[in-house]
Chain A
Amino acid sequence: MTTAVTQRQEPAGAPPGAGSRRLTERVFRIRESGIIAVLLVFVAVTTAIQPAFLNEQNLKFLLINTTVYALLALGETMVVVSRNVDLSIGSVLGLSAYVSAGLFGPHPGLPVPVVFLAGLGIGLACGIANGLMVAIGRVPSLVVTLATLYIIRGIDILIVGGNEVVAQTLPNSFTSIPRASVLGVPYLAIVIAVVIGLGAYYLRSFRSGRELYAIGSNPEAARLAGLPVGRRVLAAFTASGGIAGLAGVLWAAQYQTVDSTAGTGYELTVISAVVVGGVAIFGGSGSAVGAAIGALLLSSINSALNVLGISQLWLEAISGFLLLLAITLDRVISLRLQAALRRRSAGVGT
């Protein structure tokens, strides 16, 4: 006896899923290029109103301002992509800025690279501490880095006492770093752009970088697949800390007066930049380049306010609003996309 199975005809047609792929790709490309488009539109509009926006002086200033945030955005991207968050970067920056630049006081002839190494070292130490607690302790990174935000800032305050690093103590070789330029473009901006490019390349084209995305996209699947989750998360936080340390040294070179408030509040601005730049707050997608563009956008808004004569006081509100707008749009788009995909797969061959 056989059981004859009557089946329905499968509809012939396009390769399964091709339409869905095009749809999702289109949507993602919109997101990533969207931020660039917004930036360009913004610059265009501002320049139309006030051509001084694009003059050399202003651009230089803008680029310099962006470098610290963009650098921090790189480190934060690595963490956020893995479904974590690092709230301590502002405190790390502050500590590093003071300690590293403060080395010039008692050691005036110190070679500049040593100072950078000092800042890097401080940052790495903080990052490793964060990473170990998150990876081993299985405590949410929000809480851990909230605590270290406090602790590191407190250490900074204790070390600083009532002092500050004063511009005079800093050698020219140090303070000229942000100002040096090549063909009119600040040297520093180029270096940072390269660094960010390298970082983005790492995240995109190296196994350990991709694993960070996997961990953020589905932590359980990552564990099941045998990915070294703890190690990767530790690495991400270490990188974030180290980058914040470096950013601290740059900050000192730029602003030259460092007290215990350096870097306060930076973490939230950076997270805003990162999310606006297309990195999903729950991880799994986004790029460091997008995040850097987000930082650039926020800086541009800052600069535009300056140039347009609008009070700087609007910046905070605008950046908060942009963040809300970005995540709302992302959510709405994602819901529509899911509904569309559901309708498609319901109709195709099933």
Chain B
Amino acid sequence: MTADGGSAPGGREPGGREPGGREPGGREPGGREPGGREPGGREPGGPEPGGREPGGREPGARGPHGNQPSAPPGPAATPTAAASAPATPVLALEHAVKSFGAVHAVVDGSIELSGGEAHALVGENGAGKSTMVKLLAGVYQPDGGSLLIDGQPVTLHGPAGAQDAGIAVIYQEPTLFPDLSVAENIFMGRQPLVAGRRIDRRRMHTETGQLFTRLGVRLDPGRVSRGLSIADQQIVEIAKALSLDARVIVMDEPTAALSAAEVARLFEVVRTLRAAGAAVLFISHRLEEVFEICQRVTVMRDGRHVLTSELAGLTADDLVRAMVGRQMEERTAGERGAPGERVLLVEHLTREGVFTDISLEVRAGEIVALAGLVGSGRSEVARALFGIDRYDAGRVVMRGRELRRASPTAAMAAGIGFVPEDRRQQGLVMDMSVQQNVALASLGRLRRGGLIRSAAERAFATDWAVRLNLKYGQLIDPVSRLSGGNQQKVVLAKWLGRSPALLIVDEPTRGIDVATKAEVHRLLARLAAGGMAILMISSELPEVRGVGDRILVMREGRLTAEFGHADASEEKIMAAATGQHQEQAS
């Protein structure tokens, strides 16, 4: 699946860069620019990053630097010679190409990092960021293009090779050794030795303590790493990178699961790293963080490099436009009639340490969007509603009857369907066929005398495939062969086949291509119009605003805001989600 070659180049932006000041509003490519592409082109079902991606989120407002009006970038900026030619970048990928069979994850990826800078890499889900990270980490080797370290082409043989080259990667979900101590995690394989090749524990602990001091954090080197918060685990990984004298530290969505205080601490650490001369590559969807901590940004779209530029002078809108290449999606919400009777009532739902005092309701025919940052507890609430997780207090009432807790069977019987966040692990049995996956929740209906009637199963699956416009080879193909968008349709079909009264969808369009995304949104709208109650969890603001009739916001386990469709702006939602209060000074 490759991106179709675009048609009109859409004009070339003026090149050149102004040394430090602000630009009157033009876009700075600071380098290469392959030219725009018409938004009409079909986006491929892009590769899904290994970890979880929180989905794009634009603050909608201006970045912290610009004082300019959010006018569209004009052609006004005249090319000026670059005042400071960059020193040889520490690490650079040039025109990288990487494919996995028929999936072209990266088609023309380029990025270069200089010592002492924090460089952001942004792009939508499926843009190829995660693959770029793995190329830099030595996990993959590029099929084409070159990797340069200090200007010299280099081949990295695996993660160990990258480590030797001074590249460290902090993944979204840190992989530590839970049974070993923090110090040992940092020094595994390189523990300081005493005579006789024995491990010098004291020195290991002391050096670990020193690393933490350098980073300005306080962690006990001797403690076992099991049970550390994600934020602390990241710090351990960063300390490890530091101990390896890493010159490049790649952070993949580091703030996804952090609280505001932890983010602040992380940013301090980033500043420390920069001051020490390291280059930090910061991959994130959170544009306000990008503007806060980074100096330059590279935007990717559909596996290609789109632009690299200083952040000064750019607005969030500029970035979004570069990432998306098209206008925001049309809204489907607000066209439905008034909602019907109440289907779901949640009262004071609490699970210690996870979420607190959640009360909400969803009516027939309405779509309630649950927004918030990753880690705010939304998926946990959803799982508790469906009975996968238990809760400690509160109650759930479905269509007037209280729902037994911790029983998916009861939830399903009460008419709840649940499309989970993690398609591959939770939504589908990857080894089973399309047909079997579609039928998995409806087997009771498809049998006679206890035995599954395969003809009925086939008809059932075919029917839903048609209704959802599913693209597949044969119904008996393993579902792993389908693209992300079609896989998601299979999950939807599985639940829709039960005609649920309430459909809970967690990140309905994560990791799927634009066209299917629109289809799913239209489907949800149709279902609501037909009387289904829908609770949609999403981290993508356009989706939240476009699809939700009402918008609830969660932060750190609590509901912090509710907006009707009309009065929800992206700034307000984001403010409620992050606990920030933006002041509109001007």
Interface residue ranges, A against B (CB under 8 Å): 1-8, 10, 15-18, 20-21, 24-25, 28, 205-207, 210-211, 213-214, 216-218, 220-227, 280, 284-285, 337-338, 341-343, 345-346, 349-350
Contact = CB atoms under 8 A, between A and B. Distances in A.
B198 interface: yes
Residue of B67, B175, B581 with most partner-chain A CB within 10 A = B175
Given A16-B232, A24-B227, A207 B189 contact: yes
A207 B177 contact: no
B179 A7 contact: no
B180 A213 contact: yes
B580 A5 contact: yes
Contacts of B415: none
Nearest to B262: A350
A210 B199 contact: yes
A343 B227 contact: no
Contact of A214 (B177, B198, B201, B586): B177
Given A1-B586, A21-B222, 16 more contacts: A1-B64, A1-B584, A4-B583, A8-B579, A21-B223, A25-B223, A205-B199, A210-B188, A214-B180, A217-B180, A218-B176, A226-B158, A226-B163, A284-B177, A284-B179, A350-B229
Enumerate the 10 nearest inter-chain pairs by beta-carbon distance, A residue then B residue, closest first.
A226-B160, A21-B223, A341-B227, A284-B179, A221-B175, A346-B353, A217-B177, A217-B179, A285-B179, A350-B259
B232 A210 contact: no
Given A24-B226, A207-B199, A10 B261 contact: yes
Contact of B260 (A8, A17, A20): A8
Interface string B44-63: 00000000000000000110
Nearest to B162: A226
B259 A206 contact: no
Nearest to A9: B261
B219 A226 contact: no
A28 B264 CA distance: 34
B580 A21 contact: no
A345 B586 CA distance: 40
A217 B61 CA distance: 45
Interface of B: 61-62, 64, 66-67, 139, 158-160, 163, 175-180, 184, 188-191, 193, 197-199, 201, 218-220, 222-224, 226-229, 231-232, 259-262, 264, 288, 292, 352-354, 556, 579-586
Contact of A213 (B67, B177, B193): B177
A216 B178 CA distance: 10
Contacts of B580: 3, 5-6
Given A1-B64, A17-B223, A221 B191 contact: no
11 contacts: A7-B264, A17-B220, A17-B228, A17-B232, A207-B193, A207-B197, A214-B189, A218-B175, A225-B189, A342-B353, A345-B227
B190 to A, nearest CB: 8
A176 B193 CA distance: 41
Contacts of A280: 179
A7 B188 CA distance: 36
Nearest to A81: B179
Contacts of A346: 352-354
B406 to A, nearest CB: 16
A205 B198 contact: yes
Contacts of A338: 226-227
A218 B225 CA distance: 12
Contacts of B224: 21, 24-25, 28
A346 B190 CA distance: 33
